[in-house]
Structure 1
Amino acid sequence: MDQRTPVRRTARAAALVLLVLTTSTGCTGGVEGRPGAAGLRDPYFPRLGNGGYDVTHYDLALDVDPAAHRLRGTATITARATQDLSAFDLDLVGLTVDSATVDGRPAAVHRAGQELTLRPDAASRLRRGSTFRTVVRYSGSPRTLTDPDRSQEGWLRTADGSVALGEPTGSMAWFPGNNHPSDKASYDIAVTVPEGLTAVSNGELTSRRTSGGTTTYRWHTAEPMASYLATVVIGRFDTKESTTADGIKVFTAADTTVAADSARILARVPEVVKWEAERFGPYPFSATGAIVERTGDAGYALETQNRPFFHGPPGAGLLVHEMAHQWFGDSVTPGSWRDMWLNEGFATYAEWLWEADKNGRPVQGRFDAAFADDDNWAFPPADPPTAADISQAPVYGRGAMVIHRIRQAVDDDKRFFALVRGWTKAHRHGNASTADFTAYVEKTTGQDLTELWNTWLYGRSRPASKG
C-alpha cells in the first residue's frame, strides 16, 4: 500500500483540498491554468508519465544506508511547462514526501497510488513555455517492484548494498519524476554511502569525497536519458577507469567476488564500442563502461545508459547486445513501450552480426534458427498483447528477423548499414516510434515494403516460406 504524506486537516479543509485537486479547467484557487494529465496513456502502462510539462534536468542527491535499507533524497527537477499549469503530477511509489517547493515556494502535496500531485501556491504562475524548478525532499525504505512478467525492479537489496533498475517502471521507486521514455533529460546524481562502499551511476564520475565516515560520489549525464535507464548500484566493487582513442571515458565496476572472472570481458568494452560504432554510427555518449554484480543479486542484465548492468560476468554476446542498446533504446529511445522491438530487435541483430564477424557464423543461419523457433511466433513484435509480453521472445528474435528482412530487401550491405547509421543520426538523443521507423526505411530505400511489414512485423502467423 502506498504511503501518504502525513498531514492533519479538518474535514472542511480536506474537502476543499479535494475540490481543488479534482478541478480540471479554468482558474482554480487563484492559480491560473489547469492540472497536467496524470498519465500519458501508454498502450501498456497508461498511468506512467505525466502531462503538462517536459523535464530538462534532474539533480538527485541521495543519502543511502544499505544496512538499514533507508534512503533520504532531494530531487531538484527543472522543467518547461507545455501548458498553463495549476497543478502537475510526478511518479513516485512508496517513499514519504517530507516537503515540496515550486520555484522556492511551498507547494501543496497530495498522494494517490503512484501519483504525487503538486499544486503551487497562488503566487506561482506556471505559464506555457516557462521554466520552473521543483524540489522534493523524501525518505523511507525504497521498494522492490514486480513487473507484469514477474521480474523484479525498482530498488533491489544485494548482499553488500543495493541496485536500482528501472525498466519499465522501477525508477519511481527511488526518485520522483516523469517516468515515461518519451520525456528524456540530463542528470546529476550524487550518492552518499558509508565509507568503504562504492556508488556507481550513469555518465561521468565528476568527484568522490570522503568525510565523517561517508563517501559521496557525483555522476553527471550530459546527454538526454530516459528515466528507466537511470541506475544507482551500491556495494564493494573493483573499478577501472580509462579513455578510448576517441576520447570516450570508460568506467567499469565489478563486485569484488566476480572481479577476477569479469576482467577479461570488461577489457573488451572499448573493442565492442568501436566495432558497433563502425556499423551503427558514432558512439552517442561521452562515457561508457559496465557494471557487474554478483550472480543472484538481480535476475537479468539491463542497458542502463553509458554502462550496462550485468547479473554476473557476461559472455561476449550479451555484452554486445547491451552495448548495442546505447544506440538502440538509449540514444534512439522508443516513443512508447509498444516500440520495444526497435530496441531489442536491433540489439539481437547486433549479436548476429558479431557472431558473423568474429566467429564466422553466418547471419542467415541465425535467422533460420529464429524462424524455426515457435516462441518467436507467439505474437507480432510490434503488437505484444499485454504488458507482460513486451520483453518476450518475438520482441527479440522476430524483431531481429525484421531487421534482416530489411537488409535482404536493400540487397546491398553498404546501403543497408548506411540506412542504419542514418536512422541513429536522424533520431540521436530523441524518441522514435515504429511508424517513424517504417516511414524512414521506405523513404530511404524508395521501396514500398508493406508486405514486409504485414508479414514480419505485424503478421500473426508464420509465413509458409522464410524467403
Structure 2
Amino acid sequence: MRAPHRWRRPAVTVAATLTALTLGTGIASAGQDGWGRPTPGSDGGGDSYYPQDGNGGYDVSDYDLKVTYAPDSHQLTGLQTVYARATQSLSSFNLDLKGLTVDSVKVNGLPAKFSRTGDHELVITPRFPLLRGLPFRAEIAYHGIPQAIEDPNLGANGWQYAKSGGAFVAGEPKSATTWYPVNDTPLDKARFHLAITVPDEWGVISNGREKGTYKTAAGTTHVWSEDTPAVPYMTTVAIDKWTFDKRQRADGTPIVSAFAPGTPDSTKQADARLPEILDFLESKFGKYPVDAAGGIYLAEPIGFSLETLSRPIYSGRAGNVSTIVHENAHQWYGDTVAVDHWKDVCLNECFASYATWLWSQAKDGQDLDARYLKTVAAASDQFWAGKLYDMGPGNEFTYVYSKGPVMLHALSKYLGQAAFDQVLKTWNGLHHNGNASMQEFQHYCEAVGHKDLQGFFDAWIYGNGKPAPEYLYPGDLKPANG
C-alpha cells in the first residue's frame, strides 16, 4: 500500500527558505546534508501499460484549480495550484497536460522555465532546485479549447461537449490531462478543490461537497471540494442546465445528484434508491469511505458510465439500479482503494460487477449458485481465454465484467463464505485511501482463510484457461450433470 502523505499546505515563506538553502550552502553541500544532488524527476509513473502517464520525484497532496469556461466558444482559462512534496531533490519535474497552451509557471512564487515534450509532458524547471522531503507549490496558468482523447474501444475520454452546449469530463484510464495539469497516475492521489466560473444560466456539479457560489464579472463561480484523496481520472466537472436533487444519508453525508434536461423519470426513480443502495453496499464492504455521494446523469449516450469519486457519472439512458450499484461499489473497490498498476484492474471491475450479483440476491431473491452454474455451463472457449490479470493495454475493460464476478463467486466457495465475507468487508480498511495489487489481495485472502490459494488464483486469475474441476466446482457447487 502506498498511503498518501499528509502535510499542511506550504506557506509563502517556502520560496525564501529554499533560496537560502540553495544559495547559502550550494548543491554539493546539500548532497552532503543528505538531500542528494538534484536531478530531473522521471517523465513517467512506471505503469507497464502506460509508462508515460504520471511522473516521478514528488507526491501531490492537493490540487487547487480555478477555471473559467465559456460554453459558447468552448474556451477554458485555468490557474492550477499544485501542492506537493519532493521525494527526491529535483532540478526539474513534469506534469501531464494534453493540448492546452501554458501561459506561465511559478514554483514557490518565483517564475519558472517550462517546455512541452511528447504527447502531454509539461517540463518545469524551477529557479532553485527542490530539495528532497520539502514541500513546494507550483502554479500553472493556461488556456485553450479542451479536446477529448479518442479510445478505440470506449470512444471519447476526458473533456467532452454536450449537445445542450454544456460540457462534462469522463474517462478511464486517463481524462484529467485534457483540462488541467496533473500527475496522471493512480499512485498519486490528492485532494481536489475546484472553483469554476460559467455564465449565470449554466449549472455546475463536481466531486465532493458544494462550498457555495458567488457572482463575478464573468458569471457565477461554483466552488466544490473533494477531501477524499482522488486518483486523477476520478475527478470530474459537468456543466449543463441541470435539475438538482439534494439529500442526506442518515449519517449526514450529503447526496447531490444532477439530471440533464430530458432525463427520464425512470432514471430519477432509480437514483432515488441511492441511500438504500449505499446502505446495502456498506453492509457488504464496510463503512462508506467517501465524504459525499450522488450522481451525474448525462443526456449523451457515451460508451460507459464511470465511478468518478463520490459522484459517478452516468451515460444517457444508463441510469438504472444495476448500473448505480456497480458504480457506487467502486467507491470502495477502485476509488478509495485504487490499483497499483492497470494490470490489477480486476480489483476494481470484478468486485463492482459482483456487487450487482449480491444486490440481485438480496433484493430480488436470485439464487447465485444457480446463476453461477448456468453461466459456467454456457461459457465459451473465448470466455475461458479471457484474462483477469495482466490482460494487456487496451484490454482492461473486457472480461473483468463477465468472467470477473463468476471468479469471485467461485472464490467465495473455495475460501469459505465466512472468510470471503470478512475479506470483502475489511479490504477497504486495510488499504484505505491507498493502492493495492492482485498479489496483495491473494495474500490477504490466504491470511484470512488460513488457506493456500495459489492454485485457485493460477486457475482463475493469473492463467487464462478453463479451471480444473476442483476450482470450477468448489464447496457445494456441483456441475449440472453431477
Percent of pairs with identical residues = 36
1:189 and 2:197 are equivalent in the alignment: no
Residue 422 of structure 1: how far off its partner (Å): 1.4
Q: What are the Cα deviations for residues 330-381 of structure 1, in whole angstroms up to 9, with x where unaligned?
A: 1111111111111000001000011111111122233234433335323321
Q: Which residue of 1 aligns with 2:395?
A: 389
1:301-312 equivalent positions in 2, closer than 5 A: 301-312=305-316
CA distance in 2, matches of 1:223, 1:276: 18
Residue 259 of structure 1: how far off its partner (Å): 5.4
CA separation of 1:197 and 1:454: change in aligned 2, threshold 3 A: same
RMSD: 1.8
Residue 52 of structure 1: how far off its partner (Å): 0.2
Q: Which residue of 1 aligns with 2:478?
A: none
CA distance in 2, matches of 1:370, 1:82: 48
CA distance in 2, matches of 1:366, 1:396: 15
CA distance in 1, matches of 2:130, 2:178: 27
Q: What are the Cα deviations for residues 317-341 of structure 1, in whole angstroms up to 9, with x where unaligned?
A: 1110001000000111111111111
CA distance in 1, matches of 2:176, 2:226: 16
1:347 and 2:347 are equivalent in the alignment: no
Work out whether residues 346 and 388 of structure 2, in 8 Å CA contact, stay in contact via their aligned partners in 1: yes
Work out whether residues 352 and 366 of structure 1, in 8 Å CA contact, stay in contact via their aligned partners in 2: no
How many corresponding residue pairs? 434
User: Structure 1-normalised TM-score?
Assistant: 0.90
Q: What are the Cα deviations for residues 266-290 of structure 1, in whole angstroms up to 9, with x where unaligned?
A: 1111110000001100000120000
Work out whether residues 108 and 138 of structure 2, in 8 Å CA contact, stay in contact via their aligned partners in 1: yes
1:114-133 equivalent positions in 2, closer than 5 A: 114-121=120-127, 124-133=128-137
1:201-220 equivalent positions in 2, closer than 5 A: 201-212=206-217, 214-220=219-225
CA distance in 1, matches of 2:362, 2:126: 57
Residue 243 of structure 1: how far off its partner (Å): 1.1
CA distance in 1, matches of 2:136, 2:455: 48
CA distance in 2, matches of 1:259, 1:241: 18
User: Structure 2-normalised TM-score?
Assistant: 0.87
Q: What are the Cα deviations for residues 51-85 of structure 1, in whole angstroms up to 9, with x where unaligned?
A: 00000000011111122111001110000100010
Letter in 1 for 2:442: T
Letter in 1 for 2:147: R
Letter in 2 for 1:49: G
Q: Which residue of 1 aligns with 2:412?
A: 407
Residue 147 of structure 1: how far off its partner (Å): 2.1
1:73 and 2:85 are equivalent in the alignment: no
Letter in 1 for 2:121: E
CA distance in 1, matches of 2:250, 2:271: 17
CA distance in 1, matches of 2:51, 2:140: 24
Work out whether residues 166 and 227 of structure 1, in 8 Å CA contact, stay in contact via their aligned partners in 2: no
Residue 308 of structure 1: how far off its partner (Å): 0.5
Question: Does the residue aligned with 1:418 lie in a helix, a strand or coil?
Answer: helix
Letter in 2 for 1:187: F
Residue 418 of structure 1: how far off its partner (Å): 1.7
Question: Does the residue aligned with 1:387 lie in a helix, a strand or coil?
Answer: coil
Letter in 1 for 2:396: I
Work out whether residues 302 and 322 of structure 1, in 8 Å CA contact, stay in contact via their aligned partners in 2: yes
Work out whether residues 166 and 231 of structure 1, in 8 Å CA contact, stay in contact via their aligned partners in 2: no
Q: Which residue of 2 aligns with 1:139?
A: 143
Letter in 1 for 2:206: S
Letter in 2 for 1:287: A
The counterpart of 1:98, out of the listed 100, 103, 107, is 103
The counterpart of 1:441, out of the listed 445, 448, 452, is 445
CA distance in 2, matches of 1:91, 1:26: 30
The counterpart of 1:236, out of the listed 241, 257, 271, is 241
Work out whether residues 386 and 403 of structure 2, in 8 Å CA contact, stay in contact via their aligned partners in 1: no
Q: Which residue of 2 aligns with 1:428?
A: 432
Residue 26 of structure 1: how far off its partner (Å): 8.9
1:4-403 equivalent positions in 2, closer than 5 A: 33-113=38-118, 114-121=120-127, 124-160=128-164, 161-212=166-217, 214-258=219-263, 260-296=265-301, 298-313=302-317, 314-371=319-376, 372-374=378-380, 375-384=382-391, 386-392=392-398, 394-403=399-408
Residue 150 of structure 1: how far off its partner (Å): 4.8
CA distance in 1, matches of 2:170, 2:374: 31
CA distance in 1, matches of 2:437, 2:94: 25
Letter in 2 for 1:131: P
Work out whether residues 26 and 34 of structure 1, in 8 Å CA contact, stay in contact via their aligned partners in 2: no
Residue 443 of structure 1: how far off its partner (Å): 1.2
Residue 444 of structure 1: how far off its partner (Å): 1.3
Q: What are the Cα deviations for residues 88-134 of structure 1, in whole angstroms up to 9, with x where unaligned?
A: 0001110000000100011111101211000001xx23111100000
Q: What are the Cα deviations for residues 123-153 of structure 1, in whole angstroms up to 9, with x where unaligned?
A: x231111000000001001111012535210
CA distance in 1, matches of 2:294, 2:389: 30
Letter in 1 for 2:285: F
